[in-house]
Chain A
Amino acid sequence: MPDINWSQQLLNGLFAGSAYALFAVGYTLIFGVLDILNLAHQAIYMLGAFCALVLVTGNVAGLGPLPGGMQLPFWLATLLAMLVAGLLGILLDRLAFAPLRKRPDTHFSGMISSIAVALIFEALATWLFLPQRSQFPAGTIRPGAVTLGQGALSYSRVLVIVAALVLVVLLTVLLRFTKLGKAIRAVAENPKAARLLGINVEAIYSFSFFLSSALGGAAGIFYGLAVSRLDPTMGRSVELKGLAVIILGGMGSVPGAVLGGYLLGLTEVLSVALTNTSNYRDAIAFVLLFLILVLRPSGLLGARRVREA
């Protein structure tokens, strides 16, 4: 049995879990509202990160400095990049999903066309930002670390945890208590009923894509900053994990995605700590996923969302 630094493992697990949760809440939101799997969520995540990088450095790797050479503080760049990611989400919906909405095979065809859009976004990113790794410049945020017992976590990683908490709370408040949030839940449950109540369902779809993609963009920005690594395929590694997380939590459930995210993050970290190697990390995590699904086929909090037909 290796000598384990438990507080360090806890911090690592919270960091990984927060990153997964932040990616997954937007992913599961679109499934909850539209019953579709948006396989371009990972590409929005990547473009959000690059967008913030461009605003911070005032430079596009493949094209050169922006005219005017403006460089924004990280927090402002993050807000603007989330806005851009959100708008890209609306564009994605118009391109990949809206034209297929009335087709009987819309779930499947939309999945395929979202893969196409993801590839287009990746190609665009490769052209604009070059295929190699980029990173936020040193000093983007204050260097340093938070310590907890024997453990320490850099500020940039703590920021992922804080951002996930803040954004998930904001999203939950929006969905629970605002008129817009109630309309989103109504559309998620029964689009025909929502229409008859006077809700513009197409507008709610657009707004859901905006929200989901702004959150996805934020996930990419904070994770990219924390691990100092941005590249045009960075979304691919999180995509499958994100899918596992939302299945684990219950497809369409926002609290489920948060729970699933932390469960996956902590399991991964724990498996590395216990086996002293990362070779079995994914295997252990997915065996856990499998076991939970055997016991609860609709996921941890997904009781109501077993697909009818």
Chain B
Amino acid sequence: MLEVTDLRVAYGQIEAVKGVSFRVPEGSIVTLVGANGAGKTTTLAAISGLLRPRAGAITFDGRELTRLGTHTITRLGVVQVPEGRDILATMTILENLELGAYGRRDRDAVRRDIARMLERFPILGQRRGLAAGSLSGGEQQMLAIARGLMARPKVFLLDEPSMGLAPQLVREVFRIVAELRAEGQTILLVEQNARKALAISDYAYVMESGRITLEGRGADLLTNDAMVSAYLGGIVIDAPPVVDPGPT
């Protein structure tokens, strides 16, 4: 349903995404993995219309997105939770959730969805009236995901949701992503935490300096030699991970 074809994106003269193509079929989790600076965030920014691509096509349900404004793309159902979360720190948790549904007109359903989010993420429920800036990093990530879900995304773009979180919160984030997938949510996940991401992905692409260098089913990549040596720390896959790659 989301298809990116030969995408090129540049910052001034410097091309950060150099002809990238991939597909996110309905109901699946597709992951972009790759080292810092590979061009993953830039790719997502182009999909959401935050950056204008230099060349290439981005189609969603057969519709070309590259000329549309970000707010229109979000309202079409391509919803991004950006790297760094971008929660509205001075606004309350409830207000953040309400704004997640900004493009929706079905007020009653919005109210029900808010109640459901506060239940699903109990930490948010307890603090709904507080400024979102008072939450911890992990709680802010939960809020960012819940806020994104308030838009009822058709494709949910998640940019490094586990970044900067303590190990048990990383697990919590991946548990939620896996849960969403079980509910049938279509997801494009960007992660540096390749091992955990691949484990829950239907299909994955490996990005390296602006290009896709490897692709395959998530389970296959987990045992791929090149993948293991470059991104999985050379650890045999069924041994317990020694350390979480985690944030730097």
- On A, residues with C-beta under 8 Å from B are 179, 182-183, 185-186, 189-190, 192-201, 304
Contact = CB atoms under 8 A, between A and B. Distances in A.
A192 B41 CA distance: 14
B102 A190 contact: no
A196 B88 contact: no
B140 interface: no
Contact of A197 (B69, B89, B90, B147): B147
B95 interface: yes
Interface residues of B, number: 25
Contacts of B88: 185-186, 189-190, 193
A194 B69 CA distance: 12
Nearest to B144: A193
Question: What 3 pairs between A and B have smallest CB-CB spacing?
Answer: A198-B103, A193-B86, A195-B70
B10 interface: no
A36 B91 CA distance: 22
A193 B102 CA distance: 12
Given A185-B90, A190-B86, A196 B98 contact: no
B186 interface: no
Interface stretch (B74-82, B194-202, B211-219): B74-82
Interface in B87-136: 87-91, 95, 98-100, 102-103
A200 B69 contact: yes
Contacts of B86: 190, 192-193, 196
Pick from B71, B79, B151 the residue with the most CB of A within 10 Å: B71
Contacts of B49: 195
A182 to B, nearest CB: 6
13 contacts: A183-B99, A189-B90, A190-B86, A192-B50, A192-B86, A194-B99, A195-B70, A196-B74, A196-B79, A196-B86, A198-B75, A199-B99, A201-B71
Interface of B: 48-50, 69-71, 74-75, 79-80, 82, 86-91, 95, 98-100, 102-103, 147, 151
B82 A182 contact: no
Pick from B69, B99, B151 the residue with the most CB of A within 10 Å: B99
B91 A197 contact: no
Contacts of A182: 91, 95, 98-99
Nearest to A203: B71
B66 to A, nearest CB: 16
B62 to A, nearest CB: 21
A198 B90 contact: no
Contacts of A194: 99
A207 to B, nearest CB: 14
Contacts of A185: 88, 90-91
A195 B50 contact: yes
A198 B86 CA distance: 14
A181 to B, nearest CB: 10
Pick from A179, A192, A193 the residue with the most CB of B within 10 Å: A193
Nearest to A183: B102
Contact of B74 (A179, A183, A186, A197): A197
A41 B3 CA distance: 47
Contacts of B71: 195, 197-201
B102 A196 contact: no
A185 B95 CA distance: 10
Contacts of B99: 182-183, 186, 194, 197, 199
A197 B50 contact: no
Nearest to A195: B70
A104 B148 CA distance: 30
